[in-house]
């Protein structure tokens, strides 16, 4: 079954063609990052207008790359929520119009459920197809808008074990990057600078060690006050690298602690890491390190390609297939 999927919830216009929820024939992503660099973040009105411009060209490219015509497509999928309303409307109206005109079913998908299926994706031309993920799966989703730790017992049978009660980890990466003058988006910039810094330079607090849910606003605030007290040192590259590394260390520890607790409690067959922050190699490495200490560790998967980590339509096509 081939699904044509559309994602436009934030600042990426994306259209993909995905077969049987896993094989990605195309996943075209038009990023608006350049537009939002000036403002240091996404301006909803600007984002919606950019989606209008990009949507049809991206749709055409995705169908061309996948070498499909409408007769090959079995359904149209689209991100329903959450997201910026103006941006979501562009995707949903496009999908609804296409489904109506081509007489295909319309499948609406929650954006977070989309992220949860990103580790299932493989490029269609892959030599060896990785085995199908085995349930139950423990998923740590870490994106710009949300953090969630979810136990998946079946498709659509999700138990949320923990979620963010204030800033998500991605948001904290973005805000700390801005404080450090590293620009937008902050996650990749912090990761790069952290490679050059000392993670033990400053001991920032590990968020809600004993609590059930995730919280990153305390960590962000503590970085803010530390920088306020050391403003003159922001010109020093080494200082910036050390703060990036120390912040990343605290954020990753907070995520990994909850994940490891849940692995012991629920003994899943697999552990998946998804969402924009799953692109972070340091976080992936830390999880692998923790798993290697477990006697019979669950299988670890993160999205195979970096483009499946951040917002993309292929993940929406996967979730639509498995949850239809
Ligand atoms: O999932 P996503 O694309 O959008 C939402 O649904 O929110 O996540 C975007 C977030 C941003 O906060 C960005 O800074 C973060 O993912 N991110 C990273 C990395 N790449 C993207 N955070 C840490 N390290 C990275 N390499
Ligand atoms: Zn997302």
Distance CA 206, CA 222 (A): 11
What confidence score (pLDDT) does residue 208 get? 64
Q: Do 149 and 259 have their domain in common?
A: yes
> Is the beta carbon of 19 within 6 A of some atom in ligand 1?
no
User: If you write DSSP's letter for every residue of 252-313 in order, what string do you get?
Assistant: HHHHHHHHHHHHHHH--SEEEEESGGGG-HHHHHHHHHHHHTSSSPPEEE--SSGGGTSS-H
Distance CA 162, CA 165 (A): 9
Ligand of minimum distance to the alpha carbon of 12? 1
Distance CA 184, CA 10 (A): 14
Q: Do 290 and 143 have their domain in common?
A: yes
What confidence score (pLDDT) does residue 21 get? 98
Number of folded domains that form the chain: 2
> Is the beta carbon of 145 within 6 A of some atom in ligand 1?
yes
Q: Do 103 and 171 have their domain in common?
A: no
Distance CA 160, CA 150 (A): 4
Nearest ligand 1 atom to alpha carbon 281: 26
In the sheet that holds 23-31, the strands lie side by side as 106-110, 75-81, 2-7, 12-19, 23-31, 122-123
SS3 26: strand
Per-residue pLDDT tens for 51-75? 999 999 999 999 999 999 999 999 9
SS3 13: strand
Which pLDDT band, with edges at 50, 70 and 90, does 298 fall under? very high
Question: How close is the Cα of 8 to the center of ligand 2, in Å?
Answer: 10
- The CATH number of the domain holding residue 61 is 3.30.420.40
Q: Do 13 and 64 have their domain in common?
A: yes
Residues 18-47, mean pLDDT to the nearest whole number: 91
Question: How close is the Cα of 74 to the center of ligand 1, in Å?
Answer: 31
Question: How close is the Cα of 200 to the center of ligand 2, in Å?
Answer: 30
Which pLDDT band, with edges at 50, 70 and 90, does 211 fall under? confident
> Is the beta carbon of 310 within 6 A of some atom in ligand 1?
yes
pLDDT more than 90, % of the chain = 93
Q: Do 15 and 72 have their domain in common?
A: yes
Q: Do 103 and 223 have their domain in common?
A: no
Question: How close is the Cα of 84 to the center of ligand 2, in Å?
Answer: 11
Residues 160-172, mean pLDDT to the nearest whole number: 95
> Is the beta carbon of 197 within 6 A of some atom in ligand 1?
no
Q: Do 125 and 271 have their domain in common?
A: no
> Is the beta carbon of 244 within 6 A of some atom in ligand 1?
no
Which pLDDT band, with edges at 50, 70 and 90, does 209 fall under? low
Task: Give whole-number Cα distances, 195 to 21, 239, 244, 290, in Å.
Answer: 35, 13, 9, 20
Lowest-confidence pick of 11-20, 37-46, 73-82, 189-198: 37-46
Angle subtended at Cα 29 by Cα 43 and Cα 89, rounded to the nearest 5 degrees: 50
Q: Do 143 and 248 have their domain in common?
A: yes
Distance CA 305, CA 126 (A): 12
Length of the chain, in residues: 324
Ligand of minimum distance to the alpha carbon of 170? 1
Q: Do 162 and 265 have their domain in common?
A: yes
Whether residue 185 is preceded by a cis peptide bond, meaning omega within 30 degrees of 0, is: yes
Q: For residues 80 and 63, is the Cβ–Cβ distance under 8 A?
A: no
Average model confidence (pLDDT) across the chain: 96
β-strands 23-31, 106-110 pairing: unpaired
Tokens of 262: 């849940």
Distance CA 12, CA 4 (A): 16
Give the domain extent around 168.
Answer: 137-301
Plot region of 103 (φ>0 → left; ψ -120 to 50 → alpha; else → beta): left
Per-residue pLDDT tens for 241-287? 999 999 999 999 999 999 999 999 999 999 999 999 999 999 999 99
Q: Do 156 and 241 have their domain in common?
A: yes
Ligand 1: residue whose CA is nearest its atom 13: 187
Ligand 2 ion: nearby residues, β-carbon < 5 Å:
143, 311
Per-residue pLDDT tens for 87-96? 999 999 999 9
Q: Do 147 and 174 have their domain in common?
A: yes
Distance CA 13, CA 307 (A): 13
Q: Do 194 and 125 have their domain in common?
A: no
- Residue of 308, 311, 251 whose CA lies nearest to 283: 251
What confidence score (pLDDT) does residue 210 get? 72
Tokens of 316: 């929406």
Q: What is the pTM for the complete model shown?
A: 0.95
């Amino acid at each position: 079954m081939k699904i044509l999927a559309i994602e436009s919830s934030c600042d990426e216009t994306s259209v993909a063609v995905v077969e049987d929820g896993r094989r990605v024939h195309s996943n075209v992503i038009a990023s608006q990052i350049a537009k939002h660099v000036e403002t240091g973040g996404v301006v909803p009105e600007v984002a919606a207008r950019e989606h209008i411009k990009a949507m049809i060209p991206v749709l055409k490219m995705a169908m061309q790359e996948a070498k499909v015509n409408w007769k090959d497509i079995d359904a149209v999928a689209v991100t329903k929520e959450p997201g910026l309303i103006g941006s979501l409307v562009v995707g949903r109206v496009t999908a609804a119009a296409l489904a109506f005109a081509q007489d295909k079913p319309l499948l609406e998908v929650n954006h977070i459920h989309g992220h949860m299926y990103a580790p299932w994706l493989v490029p269609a031309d892959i030599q060896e197809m990785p085995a199908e993920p085995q349930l139950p799966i423990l998923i740590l989703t870490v994106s710009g808008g949300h953090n969630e730790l979810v136990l998946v017992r079946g498709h659509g049978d999700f138990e949320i074990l923990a979620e963010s009660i204030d800033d998500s980890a991605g948001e904290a990466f973005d805000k700390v990057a801005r404080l450090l003058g590293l620009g937008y988006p902050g996650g990749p910039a912090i990761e790069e600078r952290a490679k050059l810094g000392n993670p033990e330079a400053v001991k920032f607090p590990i968020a809600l060690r004993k609590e059930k849910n995730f919280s990153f606003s305390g960590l962000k605030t503590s970085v803010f006050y530390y920088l306020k007290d050391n403003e003159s040192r922001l010109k020093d590259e080494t200082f910036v690298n050390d703060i990036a590394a120390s912040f990343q260390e605290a954020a990753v520890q907070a995520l990994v602690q909850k994940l490891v607790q849940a692995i012991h409690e629920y003994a899943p067959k697999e552990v998946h890491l998804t969402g924009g922050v799953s692109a972070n190699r340091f976080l992936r490495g830390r999880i692998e390190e923790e798993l290697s200490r477990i006697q019979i560790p669950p299988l670890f998967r993160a999205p195979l390609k970096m483009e499946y980590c951040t917002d993309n339509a292929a993940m929406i096509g996967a979730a639509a297939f498995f949850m239809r």
